[in-house]
Amino acid sequence: MFIDNFLIDQLIDARQKITKAQNNNNSDVDFCEHKGRVIINYSWGNQAGHEFLAEAFYKGTVKELLTGFFPQDESRLKKSH
């Protein structure tokens, strides 16, 4: 398989920028469930012009993922009279 030297240089340059980048912001999360896992796409960077797109995976369902963030806490539920 032929890969252009320009493309290789671009990939090396991108990897170096990512390695040195500050990550003080994660935003624009989008996700979908597919074949038993959740595919998560998001933006990360410094909000000053150095932003990157990333992809992560969660082995499980969307319901399981979100329940992990928002577990039901019976003590916080108020009964209305």
* DSSP 8-state code for residue 79: P
List the pLDDT tens digit at each of the 81 positions of the chain: 567 888 888 888 888 888 888 888 899 999 999 999 999 999 999 888 888 999 999 999 999 999 888 777 666 656 665
Q: Any bridge partners for residue 32, and if so which?
A: 39
Quote the pLDDT of residue 34: 97
Question: In sequence order, what are the residues at sequence separation of 6 or more whose Cβ sits closer than 8 angstroms to the Cβ of residue 65?
Answer: 31, 38, 58
Q: Any bridge partners for residue 55, and if so which?
A: 41
Quote the pLDDT of residue 14: 85
How do the domains of the chain map onto residue ranges?
A: 30-71
Q: Any bridge partners for residue 58, and if so which?
A: 38
